[in-house]
Every structure is written in structure tokens, then in C-alpha cells.
A and B are shown apart, each in its own frame.
With several copies, the nearest count.
Chain A
Amino acid sequence: MTTSVTVSRIRRRQIAQLIANGMRLDGRGLTEYREIKIERGLIERAEGSAKVSLGRTIVLVGVKVGVGEPYSDRPNEGVLTVNSELVPLASPEFEAGPPGEESIELARVVDRGIRESKSIALEELCIIPGKKVFIIFVDVYVLNHDGNLIDASAMAALAALLNTKIFNYEVEDGEVKIKPGFKPLPVKDYPIAVTLAEIDGKLVVDPWLDEEEVMNARITFAFDKEGRICAIQKGGSGFFTKEQVLEAMRIAREKAAELRKLVVEG
């Protein structure tokens, strides 16, 4: 225990000193992402799926489509529900059990980006108004945690939604009958999240786990395809100056456009 704390202090100093000089321990530039790999449709049993590797961080997202009741205040809209599991095989820190605050925050930030950008045309997912609508379950499954779960999860969620199919149906006497064939889920916008960490006064994008342990705080901006901000989340027990916030927003906007190409155009 003592040793590991000591090592971590040395490493912490090393990471911070490098960043002060515009460099990173893994050789990246300050605004450079780790290598991104996207695999689509690998869970055939799910209506949509994608696996994103961000360096050694691996996130699998599966989308299931069900039928259920709409919210009473939105009788003509489908329902989107985003859930995340920090599966204990992904990190020695993760534990089995009901989702903790970190997992809930992750799911809610991914949800916010999709919802606020109106990415899914929920109004096209109504089957019988007030009674039956499609429910889109987006399940974020973290398989290996090496930092920046938000960006990897948001990318994987978008990639999975983009290959999600919903079954054809007809309504007969108030019952939903499934018909052969599928059509794609109506995805209208492509929200992308970009996270920056503040370390020793500098901003770096896509922090890996060691940087997350060193950082003062992180901030995530999600952008829609028009370059409008559609979600923000500051995390961590430090702070940003107002000027850092605005600088982070500008960097994030640029990176979001780059990442969107990767995810959407594949």
C-alpha cells in the first residue's frame, strides 16, 4: 500500500511535469485522442450494438428495442432509457451490485447528449398513442476501464444507435402484431462528447486512467451536428477558471467534429 502511494506520487509529478511542457507520458499531444477502434453490430441478438476501444478503455453498448407504455406527459413519444454498468471485470475498483454514483453519472451524461440533441426521433416511435410505444434501451457495458469512460460510452452509444433496427408491425384490435422485416431506428442527430482534464493548469483531452488520478477536475462538452453544445458536465473535486471553461469548450468543439466523422462515416 505504502509503496503504491509513493509510486503514484512520483508518477503524478512525472505526468504533471510533462504536461506542463506540453507533453504526455504516453507520447500524445495535449489535444490528441488515443487510438479509436469501433466495431459495429457484433451482438446479433441485440437490435443494435457497437464496441469502442479508446486506447485500452473498452466499452460495449447494446441497444434493445421493446414495446411498453409511454410517459403519461408524452403519450405520443417513444421512450429512451440509458443504463450503464461498470462491470467488475473492467477494473479492480468496480464492484458488483446496484449502480453507484459514478455509473449513474455516466449513464445520465450519455443520456443527456442523446436526448438534448434530439438524436432519436422519439415522435416516430409511437405505436398506439398513450398506450404502446417503442422503448429504446441503451445499455452501456464497460469492459476495461483505462480512463475517459464518458467519451468512449457516448461514441459507442451513438454507433450502436446508428445500426439499430426496429421490427415492422401492424396494429390489429389494439394488439401489436409483428410483421417480417426491419427498418432503421430514426436517428436525426449525432451527439459527440469530448472530455478534457485540468492538470497543473493545463487542459488535456481524453485523459487516461493515470491522468484521471492526477487531474484536478474534468469537463465534458457534448455537441450536436450543428456544433451547438447539447450537454455539459464538470466532474472531480477541483475547479476551472472561467477562461479555462471557454477554452475547453473551443477545443472540445473542434475535436467533436473530428470524432463525429469516425463514428458516423465509420
Chain B
Amino acid sequence: MTQRVYEKLIDEEGKRVDGREWNELRPIKIEVGVLNNADGSAYIEQGKNKILAAVYGPREAHPRHLTLPDRALLRCRYHMAPFSVEERKSPAPSRREIELSKVIREALEPAIFLEHYPRTAIDLFIEILQADGGTRCAGITVASLALADAGIPMRDLVVACAAGKVGDRIVLDLNDVEDKEGEADVPIAFMPNLNAVTLLQMDGTLTPEEFEQAVNLAIEGCRQIYKMQKDALKARYLAIKKEVEEQ
């Protein structure tokens, strides 16, 4: 209702609607270990995205017959708060939320040693408190930290970032306006140490060449965020260490 309309998504000087360069991430703030009840949790702000993730488990699952004899069952719920978007969203899960829950789960599964915890469930909850474009990517980035915070052994952190085409340019980390008004959006989840693309989707249209550029740019973005993930984990580790030593 109150959304501005932008005449140009890239101005004469090559700047984007929020003043960024084509290959510049939005400001990111990450915190690990923010909720008390969950076994692991983390919070991210990326642009105006505000996202919480929490992990419970490995734990018993009901009904029992849904568990797996040889590994843990990873369950994932991506959910938007009713007030997270311009027009109030009904709390019932939309088809979009159900699809995203599935692809996010499949983006994280390759990272987790699920075979260490047969017959249990690991529950991952991602709550979008405010949405500003790229929530699935930021959700994966923060979820993978919540998993680490819960002490769940992982092959690598999964980090995610989108690239896309906006005003005829391939740009990094689209915000809400760029996502809606731009020509294409390519979200990617990545495990840097394994060169593993664990999520890949696309809206819009791209030529094969543009697609290759977008993939390279998104992975570059992933590598930058990956460093911030590690820093956030380290900060959490130091905080716990201090807490323990003070006791």
C-alpha cells in the first residue's frame, strides 16, 4: 500500500535503488544463540530481513513410524509472521511456504551427518519476522548456524545468497523491490569447502551466459557471507567460554 514505485532500478552512475554497487551485499548482522529454550538458535538481519532460526533435537519423534531406521529425520518449517510483509499474511502455511520448507530442508540435508542419529528427529524452525527479498537464502544462512549452535555435526556450513538481473545488469543479493521489479532472481545455497550447490532455483528469464554470470556472482556472495557466519560462531564460542570461566 505504501510501496514506492521506482522509475529506474539502476541509476546513471550504476547505483541500485538502495545505493549499492552491482556486486555489493546488503548490510548483514548475525547473532548465534539468541533463544533460551531451543537447542540451537540464531538471528540474522540482511537488509531489512529479520529472521530467527531455532533447532530442537535430535529428539524423539511422534508418530514413531515416521522415523527412519538409519538416520535422523530432518524436518523444516519456513514460516512468515503475519506482520512480516506489506499486506497481513494469514498464519496458515501458504503453498509458497510449503515449497520453501521443502527446498530449504533439501539445501541443509547434504550438510548434516543425519546417520549419526537414527530414529530421531531434528526440527528446524525458520521464522521470517520481517521480509525484504531473499528470505529463503538468509533463512538458510541463519538456519545452518542454528544447527551448529545445537551441536549437530556438519560437513560444512551451508550459506546462501541470490544473484539476479535487474535493469539489464547481473547484480548480487536482490532486495524486495529488485526481486519484484527485476528480470530474474537466482537463489543459491552453497557449501564452500565442498563446492556443493545444495539449493538452486530461478524466477524470471536469463540467457545461459547471464545464468553463468549469476551463478558465479551468487557463489562469490556466499563466500563473503560464509566469513560472517564463521565470525558469528566464533563470537558465540567466546561468549560461552567466558560464561563458563566466570562460573
Contacts and interface: CB of A to CB of B under 8 A. Distances in A.
Contacts of B77: 88, 96
B150 to A, nearest CB: 12
Given A89-B125, A167-B2, A116 B103 contact: no
Interface in A60-108: 60, 62-64, 66, 83, 85, 87-92, 96, 98-99, 101-102, 104-105, 107-108
B236 to A, nearest CB: 17
B149 to A, nearest CB: 13
Contact of B84 (A43, A63, A85): A43
Contacts of B131: 45
Contacts, number: 182
A224 B98 CA distance: 26
Contact of A46 (B83, B186, B191): B83
A73 to B, nearest CB: 10
A232 B52 contact: no
A266 interface: no
Interface in B178-206: 186, 191, 194-206
Nearest to A108: B99
Residue with the highest number of chain A CB atoms closer than 10 Å, among B38, B59, B82: B82
Contacts of B79: 87, 96
Interface stretch (B7-15, B166-174, B207-215, B227-235): B207-215
B88 A64 contact: yes
Interface residues of A, number: 67
Interface of B: 1-2, 35-38, 41, 48, 50, 52-54, 56, 59, 77, 79, 81-88, 91-93, 95-96, 98-99, 101-103, 105-106, 109-110, 123, 125, 127, 129-132, 186, 191, 194-208, 211-212, 215, 219
Given A87-B127, A228-B205, 6 more contacts: A46-B84, A88-B77, A232-B200, A239-B110, A239-B197, A240-B197
Q: Which 3 A-B pairs rank lowest in CB-CB distance, beginning with the nearest?
A: A62-B83, A89-B54, A232-B202
